[in-house]
Amino acid sequence: MAKKDGETGHYGGRGDPVRSMELLWGTGPAPKSRGPRQGLTVERIVRAGIEIADAEGLAAVSMRRVADRLGVGTMSLYTYVPSKAELVDVMFDRAVGSVPRDEVPGGWRERLTAIAWADWELYRRHPWLLQVMAMSRPPLGPAGIAAYDHGLRAVDGIGLTELEMDSVVSMVSVYVQGTARAAAEAATSAHETGVTDAEWWAAYAPLLEKVFDPERYPVAARVGQVAGETHQAAYDARHGFEFGLARILDGVEALIRSRA
């Protein structure tokens, strides 16, 4: 995904761990009153941050922008949230919590497939989540832990060790993040350049025909033609996601069968 104004991603641990955990779990003291706050709450502040990030990206989120959106002074926010670092932690957890974690009928494969698609759609709605480094230092909030537990329950009791259960859930999560990032980058390129994939291909195809020798690259010519005609693009993100997810789950199935 494109990054603006030096934004390189959000890493857990940049803020005060005590304040982050208090905000995530709602265990901190109530903010001290310092005059009228126009109905300010942590949840309103977090919701405003998510709305800005959804519309403009994570780099656009700042305490000043959030305050402007809420119609209050910037200093008013610090009574509730100490900095952007803690704010993004809570934004992440609340966004993750928007995904239903209902039990899916069927076996482990159906359950993991449903989880993967739900997370794919989550990243489509909130692409800024992909800039939050959630695998190595995840915000340790209730929604994130509930999502992890939900994933583990999908593969519980199917013959895997606890370490293998963790590895399978992490593998699927990393795969979903990677493919969702590629899809987001494709969408960003069209938005930022103002050129659709079809327009890009229309401009480059005649030029490629002048230099491309199908006899020198016969396999690329054959496969590329079929893929291009099928997807009407150089790459179809949803097809790639679905195909790759199925192959990953095939591997998990082979592991399970090897224990029989």
Domain ranges of the chain: 10-96, 108-258
> What does the pLDDT look like over 140-181, one tens digit per residue?
899 999 999 999 999 999 999 999 999 999 999 999 999 999
CATH topology agreement for domains 10-96 and 108-258: no
Share of the chain above pLDDT 90, in %: 61
Which pLDDT band, with edges at 50, 70 and 90, does 122 fall under?
Answer: very high
For 118-128, give one letter per residue: b (16+ CB within 10 A) or e.
bbbebbeebbb
Please name the residues in contact with 84: beta carbons below 8 A apart, sequence gap of 6 or more: 61, 62, 63
Q: Rounded mean pLDDT of the chain?
A: 88
- pLDDT score of 8: 53
Q: At what angle do helices 142-154 and 84-96 cross, to 10 degrees?
A: 40
Residue 97's φ and ψ, nearest 5 degrees, are -70, -10
Superfamily of chain region 108-258: Tetracycline Repressor, domain 2 (1.10.357.10)
At residue 188, does pLDDT exceed 70? yes
Q: Which two tokens stand for residue 111?
A: 């359950």
Quickly list DSSP for 72-96. Answer: S-HHHHTTT---HHHHHHHHHHHHH
- What pLDDT is attached to residue 14? 72
Q: How far apart are CA 245 and CA 182, in angstroms?
A: 15
pLDDT at position 132, please? Answer: 83
Q: Which CATH number fits domain 10-96: 1.10.150.20, 3.40.50.2000, 2.60.40.3880, 1.10.10.60?
A: 1.10.10.60
Tally of CB atoms within 10 A around 249: 18
Length of the chain, please?
A: 260
Scanning 129-161, the segments in alpha helix (DSSP H) are 142-154
pLDDT of residue 10: 67
